[in-house]
Amino acid sequence: MNKKEKHIIHLIKSKIQNKNPKAEVILFGSHARGEAHEDSDWDILILLNNLKVDRNTEMEYRDELFDVEMEVGEAISTFIYSKEKWETLHNITPLYKNIKKEGIQL
């Protein structure tokens, strides 16, 4: 991982942790695999202790990361779930299996 990528990861993690220190932040996709190219986006999973993650909660976290997108000029794709629902309802999905396999906790 180069210096710019490390900086972007630091910004992403800092924004989320400042908003919610208990949130889990996981990088997955091409950046996690070390296969990213110039146009690759940053795939980020955010897991919250909330029982329910509604649209307003999702938008709050996406707004936080929008500032990072503007600063670094790279797209960030976010997936935001409650930890409980992620581990129970989503654990049969290909996305879950993919993130369990290649995800990097930040």
pLDDT per residue over 57-91, tens digit each?
999 999 999 999 999 999 999 999 999 999 998 88
Q: Write down the pLDDT at residue 91.
A: 85
Q: What is the pLDDT of residue 52?
A: 86
End-to-end Cα spacing for the chain: 14
Q: Which of 44, 52, 50 is nearest to 16 (CA)?
A: 44
Where helices occur in 1-106 by DSSP H, the ranges are 3-19, 30-33, 55-72, 83-88, 94-102
List, edge to edge, every strand of the sheet that includes 76-82: 76-82, 42-48, 24-28, 104-105
Quote the CA–CA distance of 102 and 99 in Å, as a whole number: 5
Q: What is the pLDDT of residue 29?
A: 95
